[in-house]
Structure 1
Amino acid sequence: MSAAGEGDHAYNPYTRSCPSRRLLRELGELWSVLVFGALYDGPLRFTEIARRVDGISTKMLTQTLRTLERDGLVSREYYTESPPRVTYALTELGRDLADVMDALEKWAVGHMDEVLAAREAYDAEHAG
């Protein structure tokens, strides 16, 4: 990560009005990370994503997919067959980000024991 003002980029998330802040907030959402993980290996139908992302509501999955589609990270393909079907897939831009999201997920899973131990130690020290 770079500190505010570093680099030659036009966007600086350390500046309040920078649109990259919204994107970072959206990408940091639990459901975005998990939907990315679900789509990592290829296109899926809505119900397949819902099955892979245990606990996500239909409303939240719809909202997450729309946001990711609006940002150009996920594509939605409608097939006019009987019955009609829709699939979702990572776009080229989304694939570029997918490895970063996958690394974040792997880091979280790989370090969960350490994080849980740190939380327990913190809570014990600050119990009052």
Structure 2
Amino acid sequence: MPPEEKLSAKVSTAASDMASDIGTFIRTQRENAQVSVRQLAERAGVSNPYLSQVERGLRKPSADVLNQIAKALRVSAEVLYVQAGMLEPSDKSQVRDAIVTDTAITERQKQVLLDIYASFTQQGESIHEECPTDDDGQA
């Protein structure tokens, strides 16, 4: 197989893997929210067969469709964009990830919590910069 075809096959496989990953993630979020495929499709404004194909990794949704699905699942669109490979993940934070993926709170509540968390972490960084430690970790 010529190098160009090998590269094309790798890209095709990678794209398929990404579609599968986002589909699996959406299915998991849907199941956690105890919503049927039909209910999610209706809430997101997409067809039931299309959503089923997305969940099975047969179709890769657009950013607009991901946004609609995110709203319907009450999760951050950013999380879906990252899962789909459309956006680079921000600094890893278990707290941030937990807030963003929590299905028990609204998008507005998530944003408020994220803002508060960001202010606390920035404040912590400022204190750390003002109060440097010596080599033994003592102030």
TM-score normalised by length of structure 1? 0.29
TM-score normalised by length of structure 2? 0.28
Q: Which has the higher strand share?
A: 1
Q: Which has the higher helix share?
A: 2
Larger radius of gyration: 2
